Amino acid sequence: MEVSSAFLGPLHVLEVCLRNGVDDRLTVLAGRPDWWRSDIKFTFVAERMVQDSIKKCRIRKDVTPGSVIAELPLGFWVGLFGSGGSCQYETTLWRPALRKVFPGYRGSRRDLHSDLDHVRAFRNRVAHHEPIHRRHLAADRETIVRLLRLMSPTAASWVVTHDRVPEVLARRSAVIGGAASPSF
């Protein structure tokens, strides 16, 4: 519980930066804040996520671009960096817009998607209270920080300064050995 709790802050910052960065770029690409209603083509799965988000917003009677965007799951945002199948995200989203979400990145969309999907799977384990203690948690943290640096060096610096993950990992042996009590 302690290490999962410590990861919530860095994961939160990464998810918000990714969501806001993609939203900004798609708003520019589509020329409108409700870009999901534009000519941009999404996969069936992505379209379904958008429709589910709109439904949830309708129930709350709050169907604004901001509320729809906030309702979309992390899997939606990460999926936009995938291949997109017949939607060909490489040419329709990555090259014209989404590469700008990561201004410091010089690699392929495919490699970036792999890193984002790794973090998405890790985040889901944390969020669903699944065990993470057998993972290479320092590497997970480094992936989160590296992705943040590529999007926003300021956000990455803030996370490095404020997150508790290094402190919790440093106490790991003592907690496992019973010499220290966990906290959360």
pLDDT at 184: 83
DSSP class of 22: H
Q: Alpha-carbon distance 77 to 107, whole Å?
A: 19
Q: Give the integer Cα–Cα distance in Å for 124 and 105.
A: 25
Number of domains in the chain: 1
Which residue, 138, 127, 135, 132, is CA-closest to 167?
Answer: 138
Q: Along the 184 residues of the chain, how does pLDDT read in single tens digits?
A: 999 999 999 999 999 999 999 999 999 999 999 999 999 999 999 999 999 999 999 999 999 999 999 999 999 999 999 999 999 999 999 999 999 999 989 999 999 999 999 999 999 999 999 999 889 999 999 999 999 999 999 999 999 999 999 999 999 999 889 999 988 8
Which candidate, 136, 94, 128, 139, places its Cα nearest to that of 113?
94
| Residue 182 falls inside a structural domain | no
What pLDDT score does 159 carry? 98
Residue 86 token pair: 């017949």
Structural domain contains residue 181: no
Backbone conformation region of residue 64, classed left if phi is above 0, alpha if psi is from -120 to 50, else beta: beta
Whether 148 maps to a domain, the answer reads: yes
Biggest distance spanned by C-alpha atoms of the chain: 59
| Cα 174 from Cα 139, distance rounded (Å) | 20
Residue 23 is predicted with a pLDDT of 98
- 151: its two tokens: 């999007």
State which residues form the domain around 73: 2-176
- Residue 183: the pLDDT is 87
